[in-house]
């Protein structure tokens, strides 16, 4: 890792436009910054990345725009939540392994606590009219947010006809034929890789987020400076050791459960979400389509509407949206463990889900960070990522339609014809109140540009008001 430009620790770095900060922060000083970022990390990866960019690049000048995007592109090559991994990686750049653990851990912690508390309330009172009405309102808002994600991701990813074709094929595959998400990701990545190797113009360049805006911050005017030469041997060894430990801490509990209690709900949770951890390209919205298929259809841990409730929780609390998986694990163990204390079972299931979801994220960063330069320079890998991002657009569109069907219609029918398998709403089962609330949420998002937190709060209050009026 590059040596800090200044070792004077005089508190929060002072910056002036165009100048390098005067002080390199200690780990405890950095921890306070990471804690602030974690508490403000609402609104999904786009919002979270914007908060990190504003805080770390524009305000603190720990690193510049080019280096920030360099790190983000690396994180997008990895499975898992890119915003949490970006925090982990920058923490590693600043303070090594300890910095990565602090930054990545603090990014998760508020969401763990918030989702666990909401899961307890939901399990205890979810069927009470007041609570049900609150989540009734949230479902309409979540539908609008997911549709907005389709538009935003699509606008960034679908830059030519080849990418549009990949997105369309992805949607048809998962919506009409129930193709598993990992297969869609693998095929898209293969198409992108082969297209780049063949020299096709549509597959030149990689995907990724654009710069967050504002004046460009040059790397030379930041604490970390410009990217230097290769890492020292000690830094590489420390990263690899930390990666190996993270892998052990992830896989050992899973192996223990498979060996000691095969067939239990905890073993199912550990193995299923471990598989998810290595295949979650595209972020929370994309993986939720697969989770919905399995958690609702295969395992029976949740009912369709409850997946929307869980996403509403994740949208209204700080931390990665993928924290919705903790709610899924909680409810699965709560219902299926058969314990005399179901709340304790749910708590264990939720924490187990979080563990096997995020332990691999730290492993990917520690094992991959030393090779970051090589990965970034590989044009074929960049093209594969672009194709995966395009496929994710189709997956998110499927998720939006799935949500809409279960929010706006009271009854849904399964239509099967050979390999064709469709979930379609039953004509005449429209819920007019849900439909009206969903339309209002869409207007708020697309026409009025209402912020996510404001939208969710208004939708929740709207649901409660409808309940008090006797309409839901």
CA distances from 301 to 128, 277, 337, 339, 421 (A): 20, 19, 11, 15, 22
Q: Determine the Cα–Cα distance for residues 174 and 184; give it in Å rounded to an integer.
A: 8
Classified as helix, coil or strand, 416 is strand
Q: Any residues with CB less than 8 A from the CB of 421 and at least 6 apart, and which? A: 176, 177, 178, 414, 415
Residue with tokens 């060996």: 259
Q: Any residues with CB less than 8 A from the CB of 155 and at least 6 apart, and which? A: none
The predicted pLDDT at position 254 comes to 95
Q: Determine the Cα–Cα distance for residues 256 and 262; give it in Å rounded to an integer.
A: 9
pLDDT (average), residues 67-86 = 79
Strands 412-417 and 420-425: antiparallel
User: pLDDT tens for residues 382-408?
Assistant: 788 778 778 878 877 887 887 788 888
**What proportion of the chain, given as a percentage, has pLDDT over 90?**
26
Place 369 in a pLDDT band, splitting at 50, 70 and 90.
Answer: confident
| Tokens encoding 468 | 């008090």
Q: Determine the Cα–Cα distance for residues 423 and 175; give it in Å rounded to an integer.
A: 8
Give CA torsion, residues 297, 299, 303, 306, to 10 deg. -120
Residue with tokens 């924290």: 323
For the chain, the 3-state helix, strand and coil shares in percent, each to the nearest 5, are 70, 5, 25
Q: What is the sign, positive or negative, of the torsion defined by CA atoms of 208, 212, 215, 217?
A: negative
CB-based contact 32:44 (threshold 8 Å): no
Q: Determine the Cα–Cα distance for residues 259 and 250; give it in Å rounded to an integer.
A: 15
Place 11 in a pLDDT band, splitting at 50, 70 and 90.
Answer: very low
| Tokens encoding 34 | 């990471």
Q: What is the sign, positive or negative, of the torsion defined by CA atoms of 100, 102, 103, 105?
A: positive
Please count the helices (runs of H) and the strands (runs of E) in the chain.
Answer: 17, 2
The answer to whether residue 121 scores a pLDDT higher than 60 is yes
CA distances from 189 to 138, 266, 422 (A): 34, 32, 26
Q: Determine the Cα–Cα distance for residues 360 and 385; give it in Å rounded to an integer.
A: 20
pLDDT (average), residues 108-119 = 92
Q: What is the sign, positive or negative, of the torsion defined by CA atoms of 329, 330, 335, 337?
A: positive
Q: Determine the Cα–Cα distance for residues 85 and 369; give it in Å rounded to an integer.
A: 11
315: closest CA among 121, 145, 193, 72? 145
List the alpha helices (DSSP H) in 126-262.
Answer: 129-157, 161-176, 181-197, 233-260
The predicted pLDDT at position 377 comes to 58
User: pLDDT tens for residues 84-99?
Assistant: 999 999 999 888 899 9
pLDDT averaged over the chain?
81
39: closest CA among 53, 26, 52? 52
Place 16 in a pLDDT band, splitting at 50, 70 and 90.
Answer: very low
User: pLDDT tens for residues 397-443?
Assistant: 887 887 788 888 888 888 888 778 787 888 888 888 889 998 999 99
The answer to whether residue 363 scores a pLDDT higher than 70 is yes
Q: What does the DSSP 8-state code read for residue 210? A: P
Residue with the bigger pLDDT between 225 and 245: it is 245
User: pLDDT tens for residues 318-352?
Assistant: 888 888 899 999 999 999 888 989 999 999 999 99
| Tokens encoding 158 | 């679908």
Q: Determine the Cα–Cα distance for residues 134 and 292; give it in Å rounded to an integer.
A: 21
Residue with the bigger pLDDT between 305 and 342: it is 342
pLDDT (average), residues 66-80 = 75
User: pLDDT tens for residues 241-276?
Assistant: 999 999 999 999 999 999 999 989 999 999 999 988
Angle between helices 304-316 and 324-336 (to 10 degrees): 140
CB-based contact 398:175 (threshold 8 Å): yes
E strands, 28-119, are: none
138: closest CA among 444, 436, 425, 437? 437
Q: Determine the Cα–Cα distance for residues 12 and 157; give it in Å rounded to an integer.
A: 38
The predicted pLDDT at position 245 comes to 96
Number of Cβ atoms within 10 Å of the Cβ of 258:
14
């Amino acid at each position: 890792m590059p040596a800090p430009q200044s070792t004077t620790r005089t508190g929060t770095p002072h910056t002036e436009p165009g100048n390098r900060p005067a002080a390199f922060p200690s780990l405890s000083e950095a921890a306070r910054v990471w804690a602030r970022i974690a508490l403000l990390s609402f609104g999904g990866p786009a919002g979270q990345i914007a908060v990190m960019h504003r805080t770390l690049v524009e305000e603190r000048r720990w690193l510049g725009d080019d280096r920030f995007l360099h790190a983000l592109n690396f994180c997008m090559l990895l499975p898992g939540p890119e915003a949490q991994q970006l925090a982990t990686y920058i923490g590693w750049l600043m303070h090594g392994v300890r910095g990565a653990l602090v930054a990545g851990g603090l990014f998760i912690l508020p969401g763990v606590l918030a989702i666990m508390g909401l899961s307890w309330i939901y399990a205890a009172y979810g069927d009470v009219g007041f609570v049900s009405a609150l989540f009734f309102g949230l479902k309409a808002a979540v539908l609008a947010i997911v549709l907005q994600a389709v538009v935003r991701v699509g606008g960034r990813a679908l830059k030519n006809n080849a990418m549009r074709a990949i997105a369309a094929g992805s949607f048809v595959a998962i919506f009409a034929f129930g193709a598993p998400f990992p297969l869609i990701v693998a095929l898209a990545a293969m198409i992108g890789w082969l297209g780049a190797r063949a020299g096709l113009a549509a597959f030149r360049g990689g995907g990724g987020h654009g710069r967050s805006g504002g004046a460009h911050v040059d790397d030379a005017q930041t604490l970390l400076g410009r990217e230097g030469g290769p890492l020292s041997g000690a830094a590489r060894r420390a990263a690899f050791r930390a990666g190996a430990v993270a892998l052990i801490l992830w896989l050992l509990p899973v192996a223990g459960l498979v060996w000691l209690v095969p067939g239990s709900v905890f073993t199912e949770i550990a193995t299923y979400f471990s598989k998810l951890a290595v295949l979650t390209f595209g972020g929370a919205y994309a993986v939720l389509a697969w989770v919905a298929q399995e958690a609702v259809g295969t395992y029976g841990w949740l009912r369709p509407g409850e997946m929307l409730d869980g996403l509403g929780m994740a949208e209204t609390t700080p931390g990665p949206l993928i924290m919705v998986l903790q709610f899924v694990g909680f409810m699965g163990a709560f219902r299926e463990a058969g314990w005399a204390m179901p709340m304790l079972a749910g708590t264990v299931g939720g924490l187990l889900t979080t563990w096997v979801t995020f332990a691999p994220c730290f492993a990917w960063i520690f094992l991959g960070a030393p090779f970051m330069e090589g990965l970034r320079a590989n044009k074929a890998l960049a093209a594969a990522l672009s194709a995966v991002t395009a496929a994710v657009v189709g997956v998110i569109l499927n998720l939006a339609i799935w949500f809409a069907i279960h929010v706006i219609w009271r009854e849904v029918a399964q239509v099967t014809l050979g390999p064709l398998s469709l979930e379609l709403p039953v004509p005449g089962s429209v819920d007019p109140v849900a439909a009206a609330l969903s339309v209002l949420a869409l207007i708020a998002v697309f026409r009025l540009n209402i912020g996510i937190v404001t939208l969710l709060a208004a939708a929740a209050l709207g649901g409660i008001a409808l309940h008090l009026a006797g309409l839901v």
